[in-house]
């Protein structure tokens, strides 16, 4: 078995549509070197061919949009300073009493059309493949979303042949990945070697009326359809009970640890981000293996 999951964290990259290259200027820049040369003097509003005015990033026609953007950025900076100055858990009078709309990694990302190039883009999340013991097998970055298509492409890149593929792939959205695999016909090869299952933490929240999920993605079926996922054990009083054979929370546990590096990772260039993350994951894996020996 391998466990797959993502964490919403990622560095900045070029804001131009479809480009994920490093920024030419990591301190306030929005384009890579190529697109900075091609569009650096143009108005930053989409489809505007005018030359931007001095000391701004837009032409005369779009000055109102630029002023609004600068005002919003100043408000975010002020709010950040106020949060630093307050005590943990303290609710100040100037804070609105509303729930924050935080995008979770296992929620589909809305496809919002970008209207300007005022700010650099971000990679959406880091996706990892772990063994149940915690050893990191592979990782990658997803630019726009943790979609089923991206997950399948990642798995196919790591396991290109049938002989290399695991018996079970455990992921929080296994039923969605399975549906996508059936739709794009990649399931014709995956079904020969692998079964997609939902991790135990997320499975309890999946709809009971979803037949495909509960029939094929159950992490602990008791009908004998997957005897390798459930093993018998004996309690202190001699009673026999069933338990899961694998740790399906390996990636969740890894993500909880990676979250501690978010404040420095999100400020790195993609190349520095890749080097730092690969290094800490390597040392993490060495530590996990040493604990097992």
Element (H, E) at 103: none
How many whole angstroms separate alpha carbon 20 and alpha carbon 174? 27
So what's the pLDDT on residue 101? 41
Query: Which residue ranges make up each domain of the chain?
Result: 2-7+124-251
Q: Which tens digits make up the pLDDT trace of 171-230?
A: 999 999 999 999 999 999 999 999 999 988 777 777 777 778 878 888 888 777 778 888
- Torsion angle of C-alpha atoms 268, 272, 278, 283, degrees rounded to 10: -90
Output the six-digit token pair for 123: 């990679």
Q: Which tens digits make up the pLDDT trace of 251-265?
A: 999 999 999 998 888
pLDDT bucket at 80, cuts 50 / 70 / 90? low
Q: What is the pTM of this model?
A: 0.77
User: What percent of the chain is predicted at pLDDT more than 70?
Assistant: 86
How many whole angstroms separate alpha carbon 186 and alpha carbon 170? 17
Is residue 6 scored above 70 in pLDDT? yes
User: Between 66 and 276, whose confidence is greater?
Assistant: 276
Contact assessment for residue 284 and residue 135, using Cβ atoms and an 8 Å cutoff: no
């Amino acid at each position: 078995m391998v466990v797959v999951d993502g964490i919403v964290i990622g560095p900045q990259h070029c804001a131009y549509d479809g480009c994920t290259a490093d920024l030419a200027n990591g301190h306030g820049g929005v384009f890579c070197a190529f697109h900075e040369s091609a569009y650096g003097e143009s108005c930053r509003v989409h489809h505007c061919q005018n030359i931007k005015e001095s000391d701004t990033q837009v032409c005369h026609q779009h000055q109102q949009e630029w002023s609004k953007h600068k005002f919003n950025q100043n408000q975010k900076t002020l709010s950040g300073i106020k949060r630093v100055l307050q005590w943990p858990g303290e609710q100040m009078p100037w804070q609105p009493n509303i729930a924050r709309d935080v995008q979770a990694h296992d929620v589909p990302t809305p496809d919002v059309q970008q209207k300007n190039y005022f700010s650099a883009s971000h990679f959406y999340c880091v996706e990892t493949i772990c063994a149940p013991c915690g050893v990191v097998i592979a990782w990658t970055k997803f630019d726009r979303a943790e979609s089923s298509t991206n997950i399948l492409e990642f798995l196919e890149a790591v396991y290109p042949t049938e002989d290399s593929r695991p018996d079970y792939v455990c992921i929080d959205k296994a039923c969605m990945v399975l549906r996508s695999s059936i739709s794009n016909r990649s399931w014709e090869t995956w079904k020969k070697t692998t079964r997609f299952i939902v991790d135990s933490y997320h499975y309890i929240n999946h709809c009971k009326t979803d037949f495909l999920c509960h029939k094929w993605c159950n992490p602990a079926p008791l009908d004998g359809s997957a005897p390798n996922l459930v093993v018998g054990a004996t309690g202190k009083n001699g009673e026999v009970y069933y338990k899961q054979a694998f740790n399906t929370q390996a990636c969740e546990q890894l993500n909880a640890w990676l979250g501690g590096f978010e404040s420095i990772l999100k400020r790195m260039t993609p190349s520095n981000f890749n080097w730092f993350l690969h290094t800490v994951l390597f040392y993490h894996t060495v530590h996990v293996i040493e604990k097992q020996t």
